[in-house]
Amino acid sequence: MQFRKLAICGATVLTIVLSGDESSGLSTISYAPIREVANSYTATNLPEMPYRSFVPGVAKEAPLVYSPEPAPEIHEPREISRGYPNGVALTFDCGPWVERSYIERILSALEGYRVTFFVTGIFIEKHPDIFKRIAENHDLANHSYSHPHLLNLSDEEIRNELRKAGEISSSFGYSLKPLWRAPFGERNDRIREIAAEEGYPVHVFWTRDSGDWRDISPEEVMNNVLRNADNGYIIVQHCNSWQTAEVLPDIITGLENIGLEITTVSRVITP
């Protein structure tokens, strides 16, 4: 069992038990002004956490093979929801419905950082200039063409969703392989196997859902991300979230104040 001490709002010091149980430890934070709360996250004892690969059929101690370039040697479908202790991977899902003002604020907040964007083909078609800005500064992964419920599609329809998104991205000179994320997080063995056959062997789930797709406040989104955040976490956020657009600078501050490096999925899944 491991412990972390956090100073909240510069006053009370709380001891948090770190375990595999998402419900353990700090569950709520008093909603002081956003900037004050983010600045209050400081670590006095950041533990070194063992990595967990969460790859079906692979022992926790086994390394997860990954390359930033398409890796033809990987054929079996794999899934990861938490990586090695190499920082926190911020990920952003760009579905077909993205308000330009939101994604522009998100990209401005991310200047100087490199994270991972899961993009749909429709998003690329609607916002080619924004896509190119993302591609020039961040890692890319496949999020399907139209963001459907894959569980309801035939094998060929699933293939077409992945292929079309990949082809549109390739027309700009950028590959989305080998990472992907299913729309709504809906997947099963059949879907993962099809994706692997299409060149996307690694399905990226998440350790922590920011909840920015729900009708909650920016403060709650920030609290969801920062609560017990730890090395190797993969955080999911959305390009069309006004809450994330508003609170992302404070999320970045909060993560850095507890000693966590903001990075990409490829970094945290690489030993």
- Tell me which residues are annotated as active site: 93, 238
Distance (Å, rounded) from C-alpha 244 to C-alpha 250? Answer: 10
The contacts of residue 15 (CB under 8 Å, 6+ apart) are 3, 4, 5
Asked if residue 163 lies in contact with residue 198, where contact means CB atoms within 8 angstroms, the answer is yes
Helices 100-109 and 242-257 meet at what angle, rounded to 10? 10
The contacts of residue 185 (CB under 8 Å, 6+ apart) are 205, 206
Amino acid 54 reads F
What Cα–Cα distance (Å) separates residue 94 from each residue in 141, 144, 147, 223? 10, 10, 9, 22
Distance (Å, rounded) from C-alpha 118 to C-alpha 101? Answer: 18
Count of residues making up the chain: 271
The contacts of residue 163 (CB under 8 Å, 6+ apart) are 198
Long-range contacts of 213-216 (CB under 8 A, 24+ apart): 213/238, 213/241, 216/243
Distance (Å, rounded) from C-alpha 268 to C-alpha 53? Answer: 10
Asked if residue 84 lies in contact with residue 54, where contact means CB atoms within 8 angstroms, the answer is no
